[in-house]
Every structure is written in structure tokens, then in C-alpha cells.
């Protein structure tokens, strides 16, 4: 019976959240850089011409007349036109940065959604068309499997060297782990490098569990004997 490891939704949601935040931020910066802040630039430029007037009352009088004539806010601009232009350039920078991070994340989300790895009688196949015949695998590198959940199977197909990556952080762990176990059963010990086999790991876990259970039973027995001695 074949097994299928689907792309884990929890991992996929990280990219969707990242895309939403970055693209949303990019749109916000784009609005400020192209619409909101350029809209304030004419008022800032006009007030810059009045800054040379030493008399504050005269300066305010001329400003209020200009503001009323052009439909600007009565309050004076807080920044000079040059400062505002610098801020607008900053908005362009942050807009690009957000889109550079957000758009690839969104593309990755849609490209990965619905992908899967499925076992076959000969090995495995994927939703993106990669097929691996376990008999063609020459090496399994598990150097990053214990900490990162990544193992790489090196195989040949049509005379070309290829790699399949087992990644149980992205794809459902149990079915993908079962496929890895099947592969290991067809390999010799010297073909598995960088870490123990899944069978060895399972045996070590069982031994640890049995040892813990035995120690617990011995502790309970000692407690029982001590209580009987006290009685």
C-alpha cells in the first residue's frame, strides 16, 4: 500500500504570513512614496521660500494666504522639501525591500501548496515529476537528518547523477520516514553515511525506554520494601 507525505500546512503558512506582511508593507511604503508624501511636497517647497523671512508674524501671514489659496493645511510643514524628498526615497527603498522578500515567499507558497511525495513499489515519486528507483541509489547522506530532518539520496537515472532530498520539516514526518526506512533496507551499511539508520535509532529508543521502565520498577520495588520494613 502506497503512502503519501503532503506538504505540511504549518510550514506553508509561514510563507503565506511572511508574504502578507512584506507585500502589505510594500504597498504601504508605495502609497507613502508615490502618493501621500509627494502630495505634501508643493507645500513644503512653498514654505521653504518663506523661511528666510525673519518676522514670524509676517511669515505666518503669507503662509496662511498661500495655504488658503492652494487648499493646504493651515499648520506649517514640519520638514523642508529636501528632507521630504529624502523620506520619499527611503519609502522607495523599503518598498523594494519588502517586495523582494514578499513576492518570492508568495510564489513559493503557491508553488509548494498541494505538493507531495508518494511511495511506489520501486521507490518513490513526487508531484513535480521526480521519480526515484531505490535500486539506483548509490549513497544516502544523513549528516543533517538528526538536527534538520534532511537526508540526501544520490542516484542515477538515464546515465545522469541526481539527488533526492528527504525533508521531514516540509513534508509529513511519518510517511516520509517510512519511505526512508524502506530505502535503507535496500542499501548496504557503507552506503549510509553521516548518521545511524532509522532501525538503529528505533532500537536505541526502545532500549532507552526499557531501561527507564526497569529503573522505575526497581525504584517502586525498593519503596515497597522500605515501607514493609517500617511496618
- Domain residue spans of the chain: 12-112, 117-195
10 Å CB burial of residue 136 (0-12, 13-18, 19+) is middle
Could you read off the pLDDT of 151-172 as tens digits, one per residue?
A: 999 999 999 999 999 999 999 9
List, for residues 33-73, the tens digit of each pLDDT value.
999 999 999 999 999 999 889 889 999 999 999 999 999 99
Q: Domain spanning 117-195 has what CATH number?
A: 2.30.29
Beta-sheet strands, E only, within the chain: 4-6, 116-119, 123-126, 131-133, 137-144, 150-157, 160-167, 192-193
Label residue 229 by pLDDT band (50, 70, 90). Answer: low
Amino acid at each position: 500500500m502506497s503512502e503519501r507525505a503532503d506538504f505540511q500546512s504549518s510550514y506553508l503558512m509561514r510563507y503565506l504570513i511572511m508574504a502578507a506582511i512584506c507585500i502589505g508593507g510594500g504597498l504601504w511604503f508605495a502609497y507613502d512614496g508615490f502618493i501621500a508624501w509627494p502630495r505634501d511636497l508643493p507645500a513644503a517647497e512653498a514654505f521653504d521660500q518663506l523661511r528666510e523671512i525673519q518676522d514670524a508674524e509676517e511669515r505666518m501671514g503669507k503662509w496662511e494666504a498661500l495655504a488658503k489659496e492652494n487648499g493646504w493645511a493651515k499648520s506649517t510643514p514640519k520638514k523642508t522639501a529636501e528632507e521630504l524628498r529624502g523620506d520619499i526615497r527611503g519609502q522607495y527603498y523599503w518598498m523594494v525591500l519588502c517586495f523582494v522578500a514578499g513576492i518570492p515567499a508568495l510564489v513559493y507558497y503557491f508553488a509548494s501548496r498541494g505538493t507531495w511525495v508518494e511511495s511506489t513499489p520501486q521507490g518513490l515519486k513526487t508531484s513535480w515529476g521526480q521519480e526515484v528507483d531505490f535500486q539506483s541509489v548509490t549513497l544516502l547522506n544523513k549528516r543533517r537528518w538528526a538536527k534538520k530532518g534532511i537526508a540526501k539520496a544520490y542516484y542515477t537515472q538515464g546515465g545522469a547523477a541526481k539527488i533526492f532530498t528527504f525533508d521531514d520539516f516540509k513534508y509529513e514526518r511519518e510517511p516520509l520516514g517510512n519511505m526512508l526506512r524502506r530505502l535503507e533496507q535496500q542499501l548496504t551499511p557503507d552506503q549510509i553515511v553521516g548518521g545511524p539508520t532509522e532501525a538503529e535509532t528505533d532500537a536505541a529508543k526502545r532500549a532507552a525506554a526499557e531501561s527507564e521502565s526497569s529503573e522505575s520498577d526497581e525504584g517502586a520495588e525498593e519503596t515497597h520494601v522500605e515501607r514493609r520494613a517500617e511496618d
